[in-house]
Amino acid sequence: MENLPENLDIDPIEVWGGGADQSSERTRIEQCIELLNHPSCREEALALLNKERRCKDMPLLLWNAKNLSYVLLQEISRAYTMLSPPTLNMKDATRVCNALALLQSMASHPDTRMNVVRAKMPIYIYPFMNTTEKGVKHFDYLRLTSLGVIGALVKVEDTNSPEIIHFLLESEMFPLCLRCVEVGTELAKTVALFVISKILSTDQGKQYCGTFPERFFAVSRVLGNTIDEFPGKPSSHLLKHILTCFMRLSEVSRPREALTKCYPAKLRDPTYLNFACDDAAVRSLADRVLQNLSEQSAAGSSTSASY
């Protein structure tokens, strides 16, 4: 299974120091959850809970707490009015990111992940992924933390994965990830591309992108632009996820011929690949994509349907 980018687990504030035992951790968490029921204490309680996110019992305590999910969605949705016109400041962004980080905690845990999906809670973060402000720190922060929730849902492949992927595709999350690739920081691009690559690794994802030409060309355009417009050397994680996405697209018979025509020139250039691919595994992946495309070119368009 592919590894997440090193910084996917977004922590808006520093984790508390010290080595408190589990019982005191649980007590602090329960006290903070109780404080969430008091609006005047809610901002502080969210910050304190976020400091305790390393506690393995946290997701279950959060999900089973009365009204907790409602409170989190309240905190998330209160930021909507600050998105357009953009009046969000760092204080507001930190508060909503603390709520998103708790949602990510529940999305990461095997016993609460499907509860989050079946309650359709991820839909509430989609407006943050649809923002277009570039280079604005608090919007970048909000976008990245939102992507962390989606990344947590797709990170682990298990028997629930098809339902999760179906939900994300049906709820039109995929175009929002493409938007994040276009406007996000390098880390946001990396997390968004990780999500896209995980989706494209499934039959559902390949069908979603391979059935309609506009979807295929939207993905290939964003991937190509990311390579062409990136200044200097992309990170190994970013390049790996771009190549993985191209690899998955090259495995779909219908768009494969079109991909041979729109595959970025940089990724065909041995000089660029020698420069960009510090990791032997990433270079091997680049070579495999080229091999797939070469085989398609040799076979000719008569062997498969194309756009």
- What is the SS3 string spanning 200-253? HCCHHHHHHHHHCHHHHHHHHHHHHHHHHHCCCCCCHHHHHHHHHHHHHHHCCH
User: Which backbone phi and psi does 100 adopt, to 5 degrees?
Assistant: -65, -35
What H or E segment, with its residue span, contains residue 268?
none
Question: How far from 74 is each of 39, 40, 239, 244, CA to CA, in Å?
Answer: 11, 14, 37, 37
**Domain ranges for the chain:** 1-186, 202-307
Confidence of residue 53 (pLDDT cuts 50, 70, 90): confident
The per-residue pLDDT for range 177-233, each reduced to its tens digit, is 999 999 999 999 999 999 999 999 999 999 999 989 999 999 999 999 999 988 888
Task: Give me the residue label for tokens 């090193």.
Answer: 6
The predicted model scores a pTM of 0.89
Question: How far from 199 is each of 62, 143, 222, 242, CA to CA, in Å?
Answer: 28, 19, 16, 13
Read out DSSP for 11-52?
A: -SSPPP-S---HHHHHHHHHHHHHHTTSGGGHHHHHHHHHHT
User: Can you tell me the distance from the alpha carbon of 269 to that of 182, in angstroms, rounded to the nearest whole number?
Assistant: 23
Percent of the chain with pLDDT over 70: 89
Number of other residues whose CB lies within 10 A of the CB of residue 153: 24
User: Can you tell me the distance from the alpha carbon of 127 to that of 114, in angstroms, rounded to the nearest whole number?
Assistant: 21
Token output for 11: 């922590």
CB-based contacts of 88, cutoff 8 Å, min separation 6:
79, 82, 138, 139, 142
Confidence of residue 244 (pLDDT cuts 50, 70, 90): very high
Q: Is the peptide bond before 85 cis (omega within 30 degrees of 0)?
A: yes
Task: Quote the mean pLDDT of the chain.
Answer: 90
The domain defined by 1-186 folds into Leucine-rich Repeat Variant (1.25.10)
The per-residue pLDDT for range 7-16, each reduced to its tens digit, is 445 443 333 3
The per-residue pLDDT for range 274-291, each reduced to its tens digit, is 999 989 999 999 999 999
The per-residue pLDDT for range 114-160, each reduced to its tens digit, is 999 999 999 999 999 999 999 999 999 999 999 999 999 999 999 99
- Could you check whether 1-186 and 202-307 share the same CATH topology? yes
User: Can you tell me the distance from the alpha carbon of 184 to that of 189, in angstroms, rounded to the nearest whole number?
Assistant: 6
Token output for 122: 């991820």
User: Can you tell me the distance from the alpha carbon of 217 to that of 175, in angstroms, rounded to the nearest whole number?
Assistant: 12
For the chain, how long is the longest CA-to-CA vector?
Answer: 68
pLDDT over threshold 50, residue 79 = yes
The domain defined by 202-307 folds into Leucine-rich Repeat Variant (1.25.10)
Asked whether 210 and 216 are in contact (CB, 8 A), the reply is yes
Asked whether 122 and 112 are in contact (CB, 8 A), the reply is no
